[in-house]
Structure 1
Amino acid sequence: MIDWNVAVQTGTRLVRPGPQVSQAEAREVVEELRGLSRIAQGHVRKFTGIDGEQNPAPATIVDRPGWIRANVDGFRVVLEPLMERLAENRGSGGLSGGPAGAVFQAVGSRVTGMQVGAILAYMASRVLGQYELFLPPDPSGRAPTGRLTLVAPNIVHVENELGVDSHDFRLWVCLHEETHRTQFTGVEWLRPYVQEQMTAFLLASDLDPAAMLNRLREAADAVVDAVRGGDSSLIDAIQSPEQRKILDRLTAVMTLVEGHGDYVMDAVGPQVVPTVAEIRARFQGRREGGSRMDKTIRRLLGIDMKMKQYAEGSRFVRRVVAEVGMDGFNQVWTSPETLPTHDELREPASWIARVVGTPAITAPPSRNGTGPKPDAADDNDRSA
Structure 2
Amino acid sequence: MTQKNTLSHLVAWDTAAQVAAQLVPAGPQKTVQEMTRAVESIRYAALMSVEHVHRITQLEVAHQLTDSQVLVVDRPTWSKANTQAFSTMLNTEPSSRLAQKMKKLTKTQKTLVSYATATEVGAVLAYLSTRVLGQYEPYAARAGYGASGGRLMLVAPNILALEEELHLDPEDFRLWVCLHEQTHRVQFAAAPWLDEYILQLVHRLSSDLGSNTEELFGRVIHTAKTSLGHSTSSQSEANSLALNDSAHKTLSEVTAVMSLLEGHANVVMDSIDASVVPSIKTIRQRFNRRSQTHTFFHKIVQKLFGMERKLQQYKDGQKFVQYIVDAQGMDRFNMMWERPENLPTEQEIHHPQQWIDRMLASTERVIPWAGE
| 1:339 maps to 2:334 | no
Partner in structure 2 of residue 273 of structure 1: 277
Tell me the equivalent position of 1:40. 49
Partner of 2:203: 199
Asked if 1:119 corresponds to 2:124, the answer is: yes
Q: Aligned pair 1:96/2:107, yes or no? A: no
Q: Is 1:30 aligned to 2:39, yes or no? A: yes
Q: Is the 8 A contact 1:131 1:147 kept in 2?
A: yes
| Alignment counterpart, residue 185 of structure 1, candidates 172, 184, 189 | 189
Amino acid paired to 1:102: K
Change (3 A) 1:257 1:143: same
Give the structure-2-normalised TM-score. 0.79
Pairing 1:49–2:54 present? no
The count of residues paired between Structure 1 and Structure 2 equals 332
- 1:208 to partner: Cα distance: 8.3
Q: 1:238 to 1:136 in 2, by over 3 A?
A: farther
**Per-residue deviation, 1:375:** 6.0
Greater shift, 248-257 or 43-52, is seen at: 43-52
Distance 1:343 1:24, change over 3 A: same
Shift of 1:303: 9.5
In the alignment, structure 2 segments of 5+ residues that lack a partner are 1-9, 221-239, 293-298
Which of 311, 318, 333 aligns to 1:314? It is: 318
Provide the C-alpha distance between the structure 2 equivalents of 1:288 and 1:77, rounded to a whole number of angstroms.
25
Asked whether 1:69 is paired with 2:73, we answer no
Moved more, 267-276 or 30-39: 267-276
Residue of structure 2 equivalent to 1:79: 90
2:70 aligned with 1:59: yes
How far off its partner does 1:206 sit? 3.3
What corresponds to 1:135 in structure 2?
Answer: 140
- 1:304/1:33 CA distance change after superposition, 3 Å: farther
Q: How far off its partner does 1:17 sit?
A: 1.7
Choose from 152, 156, 160 the match for 1:148: 152
Give, in whole Å, the separation in 2 of the partners of 1:127 and 1:142: 19
Listed one character per residue, the Cα deviations across residues 130-182 of structure 1 (whole Å, up to 9, x for unaligned) are 0002114376x993231100000000000000111111110011000100010
Cα RMSD (Å): 3.6
Q: Taking structure 1 as reference, are residues 215 and 276 closer, same or farther at Cα in structure 2, changes over 3 Å only?
A: farther
Aligned residue in 1 for 2:356: 352
Distance 2:107 2:217 in 1: 23
Mapped pair 1:15 → 2:29: no
Q: Which aligned pairs between 1:363-378 and structure 2 lie closer than 5 A?
A: none
In structure 1, the residue corresponding to 2:153 is in which secondary structure?
strand
Residues 279, 321 of structure 1: alpha-carbon distance in 2 compared, 3 angstrom cutoff:
same
**Cα distance, 1:321 vs structure 2:** 0.9
Compare 346-355 and 56-65 and name the one that shifted more.
56-65
Percent pairwise identity: 35
1:216 to 1:48, Cα distance in 2 relative to 1, 3 A: same
In the alignment, the residues of structure 2 paired with residue 43 and residue 149 of structure 1 have an alpha-carbon distance, to the nearest angstrom, of 19
Q: Distance in 2 between matches of 1:304 and 1:39?
A: 38
Change (3 A) 1:238 1:214: farther
Aligned to 1:261: 265
Aligned partners of 1:334, 1:356: CA distance in 2, in Å? 14
What amino acid sits opposite 2:138 in the alignment?
Answer: L
Gaps of 5+ in 1: 218-235, 290-296, 364-373, 377-384
